[in-house]
Amino acid sequence: MDLNRDEMRRELKVIDADNKAIMPKWYDALHRIVGGGTEMSTDEKAAILGVPAPGRRQFFKFGGATIIGAAVLAACSSDDSGSTGTTAGGSGETTTTAGNGNMDLALARTAASLEKLAVDTYQVGIDSGFVTTAAIADAAVLFQGHHQAHLDALNAAVKDAGGEEVTEANQAVFEALIEPAVAAAKAEGDIVQIALDLELAAAQTYAFAGGALTVPDLRSTIMTIGGIEARHAAVLIVAAQAKSPLDVFPDERGFFPGDNPLAGIDGAVLSG
């Protein structure tokens, strides 16, 4: 999808006037991906959408557990058909089931499901009864709203592409990562740490995408999100005070800064 100058100027004005509404640039970027308007590799598409990418050995550290995975997208990628993936703790190679029909749409729906997961996870934290500090509760609601804005933009792109909007959180990621961490949470600090892990992973994903994407507009669009995720993390670090994500997992830094931090989780990729 090409944008002419006037369209871009109008979009920038809209962003400046009301950034809490649906974000046109983000929408445009997604629309181009979903609509196939750019020549991007599977890894690049995965990076921009914040989902596991094939061909990269990745680590996602969460609540003390490390999941090593790769190639979730490979089986549904038109340029990597026939690839397989593995999941840590699993019994061997696992072929994903999204198919080759419409990988872009599958990625968009998967990303939307992850945003929904973030929205839901914040709600779990809010409802947990552990969050008793008013400022932390306020931050959770605000951050949840940001993720909802991302979800809305993703769903708009999915709908325009003829796909089915995502209304449920990514169940596979929830079961693999969020559910155990929430179950183990015993205090406000645990809830903050869960949120911080999510935000740091997101910020790193976007920082990677900012350099990996081939289209300048897309790089910018991604980093308008990545900056916000970094701000989220900064706020959460303040809320957690002495806690640091590096202190929680000091020996499991298994990924390069800027790499997509999400691992391949079987079933995490939705159908198109």
Partner 1 sequence: MQISAKELRHLANDVDDMHHEAMRNFKQEASELHLGARRSFLKKAGIAGVGGTLLTAGGGLATFTRLGGLAAAQDGALTDTVIAGYAQSIELAAVAAYTAAAPKLSGDVLAVATMFAGHHQQHADAFGEVAGDDARPEANAKLVEVVTPTLTAVGAAEPSEALTAEILGFAKVVENQAAYTYAAALTLLTDPAYAAATSTILPIEAQHATVLSLALGETPDMWFPTGAFESSALGDGTDPLKGYDPAVFA
Structural tokens at position 89: 């703790």
Taking the complex as a whole, how short is the minimal distance between the CB of residue 96 and partner 1, in angstroms?
21
Measured between alpha carbons, how far is 271 from 166 in angstroms, rounded to an integer? 11
Distance CA 161, CA 143 (A): 27
| Pairing relationship of beta strands 85-87 and 65-70 according to DSSP bridges | antiparallel
Q: How far is the CB of 53 from partner 1 (least distance, A)?
A: 9
**Which residue number, 245 or 272, has a Cβ lying nearer to partner 1?**
245
Which residues, 6 or more positions from 223, have their beta carbon under 8 angstroms from its beta carbon?
206, 207, 210
Report the run of H or E that residue 70 belongs to, with start and end: strand 65-70
Instruction: Return d(Cα 123, Cα 127) in angstroms, integer.
Output: 6
List residues binding partner 1 (CB under 8 A): 3, 5, 8-9, 12-13, 15-16, 18-20, 23, 25-26, 41, 43-44, 47, 56, 135, 138-139, 142, 145-146, 149-150, 203, 206-217, 219-220, 223-231, 233-235, 237-239, 241-242, 244, 246, 257-258
Closer to partner 1 by CB, 13 or 186: give it.
Answer: 13
Backbone φ and ψ for 65, nearest 5 degrees, come out as -100, 140
Q: How far is CA 42 from CA 34, 51, 136, in A?
A: 12, 10, 37
**What is the rounded CA–CA span in Å between residue 220 and residue 48?**
11
Tokens of 140: 């959770």
Residue number with CB closer to partner 1 (167 or 244): 244
CB of 29 to partner 1, least distance (A): 11
Q: Are 110 and 170 in contact (CB under 8 A)?
A: yes
Closer to partner 1 by Cβ: residue 180 or 227: 227
In the complex with partner 1, which residue's Cβ is closer, 239 or 265? Answer: 239
Closer by beta carbon to partner 1, 134 or else 183: 134
